Amino acid sequence: MNAAAKLLDRLERVKQTAPGRWLARCPAHEDHSPSLSVRELDDGRLLLYDFGGCETGAVLAALGLTLADLFEKPLGNFAPSHSRIPARDLLEVISEEVTAVAIIGAAMLAKKTVTETDWQRLAQAAARIGRARDHAHGR
Ligand SMILES: [Zn+2]
């Protein structure tokens, strides 16, 4: 089993967005809409980026994996670089967040009140969209 298959096998709600690119539920936080981006490089290395803000180490630990599992073969002390995420995947994440905001907005309108949970989800949407923007700016 290669590194990608081993990782994807352990993730939930995996959706392939392009050849060698996937979005999945992050196992390291309460992830309601898939926010973990997985990218397989030509040499078989995997790059992970969580729009929920989890560190790669935390994501791997939640799956019972280590950084070494991201590589087909040992590469010495290679540190995963900040991956470039395609605009399409960024838009996918933003679209999911905006949909969540619209659903919460409709519930708020109906109930004429805002619950703590709704409020936290809105704040999370704002944070995730902000991270997507920062990523697009290469920060
Ligand atoms: Zn996460």
| Residue 30 placed within a domain | yes
Task: Report yes or no: 130 and 51 within 8 Å, Cβ to Cβ.
Answer: no
Answer yes or no: is 117 within a domain: yes
CA–CA separation, 98 and 73 (whole Å): 40
- 51 CA to middle of ligand 1, Å? 7
Do 14 and 57 share a structural domain? yes
Residue 25 maps to a domain: yes
Domain count, the chain: 2
Same domain, 66 and 93: no
Looking at residue 77, its pLDDT comes to 47
| Residue whose tokens read 């991201």 | 70
pLDDT of residue 81: 52
> Would 119 be classed as within a structural domain?
yes
pLDDT score of 130: 86
- 76 lies in a domain? no
Residue 50, strand partner residues: 36
Q: How far is the CA of 118 from the centre of ligand 1 (A)?
A: 19
Identity of the amino acid at 72: E
- State how far the Cα of 81 lies from the Cα of 88, in Å rounded to an integer: 20
The pLDDT assigned to 21 comes to 93
Task: Report the pLDDT value the prediction gives residue 85, as an integer from 0 to 100.
Answer: 77
Is residue 81 a part of any domain in this protein?
A: no
- Rounded CA-CA distance 23/18 in Å is 10
Q: How far apart are CA 52 and CA 49, in angstroms?
A: 9
- Rounded to a whole number of angstroms, the CA Rg of the chain reads 16
User: Is residue 10 a part of any domain in this protein?
Assistant: yes
Same domain flag for 65 and 28 = yes
Contact (CB, 8 A) for 111 and 119: no
Same domain, 62 and 25: yes
- From the CA of 89, how far away is ligand 1's center (Å)? 16
Query: Separation of 62 CA from ligand 1 center, angstroms?
Result: 10
pLDDT score of 36: 94
Residue from 75, 73, 76, 69 nearest 3 by CA:
69
Q: How far is the CA of 59 from the centre of ligand 1 (A)?
A: 7
Are residues 65 and 97 located together in one domain of the fold? no
Indicate whether 66 and 102 sit together in one domain.
Answer: no
- pLDDT tens digits, the chain, 139 residues: what are they? 788 999 999 999 999 999 999 999 999 999 988 999 999 988 778 889 999 889 888 999 999 988 888 876 655 544 455 557 788 888 888 888 898 888 888 888 888 888 888 888 888 888 888 888 888 777 6
18 and 51: one domain? yes
Domain of residue 124, residue span: 87-136
CA 112 – ligand 1 centroid, Å = 31
